[in-house]
Amino acid sequence: MALFKGAGVAIVTPFEKDGSVNYKKLEELLDYQIQEGTDAIIICGTTGESSTLSEEEHSDVVRYTCEYVNKRIPVIAGTGSNCTETAIDLSKKAEKDGADGILVVTPYYNKATQKGLIEHYTDIAGSVDIPLIMYNVKSRTGCNIEAKTAAYLINNVENIVGIKEASGDISQVAQIAHLTNGELDMYSGNDDQTIPIMSLGGIGVISVVSNVAPAKVHEMAALYLDGKTKEAAQMQLDMLPLVDALFCEVNPIPVKTAMNLMGMEVGGLRKPLTPMEPEHAELLAQAMRDYGLKLV
């Protein structure tokens, strides 16, 4: 059984003015997502600035989220690292703290071979009893999970259940679907490819856009799952200008900017991420207005 179907939010980590985690605001964001129909919370992923959270902060945020959500919807914790042992440690802590599953990105900087990826994911999955979703995003990590590797892992490691596909390569997505015979739960990792990936057998999206338009992203995925493919495709096309604006600078700079423009007050970014360029912020604000989002 899939961890979730539909729209999972790759949620931001809100910060106080001093740069510490704003847990009160995190509660507000979690309630907002659940109220708007989001199907799963993905905490401490790329959008959550996991790379600049200390290991202690990382585990604290995961634990706090699991306790606050309290099984209302699934919580999936980002626990990836370029060090296998670190990823194992984070995964064990996430399981202990109540996560329903883990999302594990390919090792960055090391650029593992396909054999290395098999050993990396096998070791991490073997350290926990909760389901593992692989996260394939070569543009950030320099490391690609090839279709044959994904197929090997799903066939040989019991609790590897899914893949977040953000390679941008639709042909690769099709090959993964072909080789795994529907046994691997596929989620789009790119908001502009949700419906294309679902048309190849995907069951949802792990979405950045859901931070600002959760009900819309949920509705789009739900329409497709309900067989209303034409309506879902139109929602995807209507969303594209907003998606483009939300990725005109590196994620999560634009989405945090957008949330603050909407009055959500999620705070700033941790360096080396810096505030959005003014001209890009203007374009983002216009795209948000055009999509019907309310700015303060």
pLDDT in tens, the chain (296 residues): 899 999 999 999 999 999 999 999 999 999 999 999 999 999 999 999 999 999 999 999 999 999 999 999 999 999 999 999 999 999 999 999 999 999 999 999 998 999 999 999 999 999 999 999 999 999 999 999 999 999 999 999 999 999 999 999 999 999 999 999 989 999 999 999 999 999 999 999 999 999 999 999 999 999 999 999 999 999 999 999 999 999 999 999 999 999 999 999 999 999 999 999 999 999 999 999 999 999 99
Cα torsion 275, 75, 58, 83 to 10°: value is -100
Per the domain annotation, does 235 fall within a domain? no
Which of 93, 121, 135, 152 is catalytic? The answer is: 135
Per the domain annotation, does 283 fall within a domain? no
Per the domain annotation, does 268 fall within a domain? no
One-letter identity of residue 10: A
- 233 strand-pairing partners: none
Per the domain annotation, does 49 fall within a domain? yes
Domains: count for the chain: 1
Give phi and psi for 177, each to the nearest 5. Answer: -60, -40
Distance between CA atoms of residues 203 and 171, nearest Å = 17
Alpha carbon 96 to its chain's center: 21
Distance between CA atoms of residues 205 and 10, nearest Å = 9
Per the domain annotation, does 88 fall within a domain? yes
SS3 86: helix
Per the domain annotation, does 264 fall within a domain? no
Domain of 157, CATH number, reads 3.20.20.70
Distance between CA atoms of residues 147 and 155, nearest Å = 12
The pLDDT value recorded for residue 1 is: 80
Q: Are 160 and 124 in contact (CB under 8 A)?
A: no
Q: Are 143 and 106 in contact (CB under 8 A)?
A: yes
The pLDDT value recorded for residue 164 is: 98
Per the domain annotation, does 116 fall within a domain? yes
Helix (H) or strand (E) holding 133, with range, is: strand 132-136
Closest CA to 65 of 20, 105, 33: 33
- Hey, how many other C-beta atoms are within 10 angstroms of the C-beta on 230? 10
Is-catalytic flag, 294?
A: no
Cα within 13 Å of Cα(11), Cβ side? 30
Per the domain annotation, does 240 fall within a domain? no
- Hey, how many other C-beta atoms are within 10 angstroms of the C-beta on 148? 12
Helix (H) or strand (E) holding 162, with range, is: strand 160-165
Residue 11 corresponds to which tokens in the numbers above? 């949620």
Residues 6+ apart with CB under 8 A from 242: 209, 213, 287, 288, 290, 291, 293
Q: Are 118 and 152 in contact (CB under 8 A)?
A: yes
Give phi and psi for 34, each to the nearest 5. Answer: -65, -40
Q: Which structural domain range is residue 38 located in?
A: 6-229
Which of 164, 216, 256, 291 is catalytic? The answer is: 164
